[in-house]
Amino acid sequence: MIWAYAICDHPDAPLPRRRGLAHAPLEGIAVNGLLAVVSRHTQAPGDPALDALWTHERVVERLMVDRTVLPLRFGTKLPDADSVRSTLTARYDEFMAALDRVRGRVELGVRAMEPPREDGVPPAAIAATPARVARTGRDYLLEKLAHEQRNEHGAAALHEPLSAVAVASRRGRLQSDDEVLRAAYLVERADVARFRALVERLQHQHPELAVLCTGPWPPYSFVAVPQAGAMAGSAAT
């Protein structure tokens, strides 16, 4: 079987010597202007252990150094080279258009959280414990609503200025009660430093939040063509 990492442009450029999953060498399968970067395996190597995720990620990051990439979802397997070719052929225009959208751009991730308090109890846990904050169910619900509104206000105060520096942005589903914002931004390479400086400034303006920025990532959150708007978790809803 074939494990696929990414689709890129410049099919004539030599592939990096970096190894893929299970130390398999990388191969390219080209259709006109498109190249799928893959490795061949007799057994599926796709157990999502952390080192496998990082291996996949590093292949895609390495490709991103000298070409434009459409990262494929981890776990993309095809039976043989012919099925890779027929997929590239069938969706050629779609992939070319997606490459044009992300060319020269990278993805930055921003997540904002309420830090745990000094006593170690996360703020969300307090809001979720009616006895500690309110006497009645109604008070509890009002407190919970106020908490959510504060969080949404905080999220917008970060998301709006960051979006202004980005070409595109996606907000993801929050994964835990202490998360306030989980978002991805597609940013011109030339604007990455400016974006990071803005994150620092926003952190300074919002000392009540922990604002963390990761990247540059391959544009995972901006290439999901059929399921539009699917940054990460939002695909589940």
Partner 1 sequence: MTARDDIARQREVALVDLVDRLLAGGVVLGGDVTLSIADVDLVYVGIRALITSVATAEEKGLAIAPAQGQPFA
Cβ pair 91, 7 in contact under 8 A: no
Number of residues that bind partner 1 (CB under 8 A): 56
Q: Does 225 bind partner 1 (CB under 8 A)?
A: yes
Please select the residue that binds partner 1; options are 32, 129, 205, 214, rule is CB under 8 A. Answer: 214
Name the 3-class secondary structure at 68: coil
170 Cβ contact partners less than 8 Å away, ≥ 6 residues apart: 183, 184, 221, 222, 229, 231, 234
Our CA angle for 186, 188, 189, nearest 5°, is: 115
Q: Does 166 bind partner 1 (CB under 8 A)?
A: no
Give whichever of 140 and 218 is closer to partner 1, judged by the CB atom: 218
Q: Does 165 bind partner 1 (CB under 8 A)?
A: no
Q: Does 233 bind partner 1 (CB under 8 A)?
A: yes
* DSSP state letter for 118: T
115-144 residues near partner 1, rule: CB under 8 A: 115-116
Give whichever of 40 and 77 is closer to partner 1, judged by the CB atom: 77
17 Cβ contact partners less than 8 Å away, ≥ 6 residues apart: 25, 26
Can you give the length of the chain in residues?
237
Which positions touch partner 1 (CB under 8 A)? Answer: 4, 7, 44, 46, 48, 50-51, 53-54, 56-58, 61, 70-78, 83, 87, 95, 98, 107, 109, 111, 113, 115-116, 172, 175, 182, 184, 210, 212, 214-218, 220-221, 223-227, 230-233, 235-236
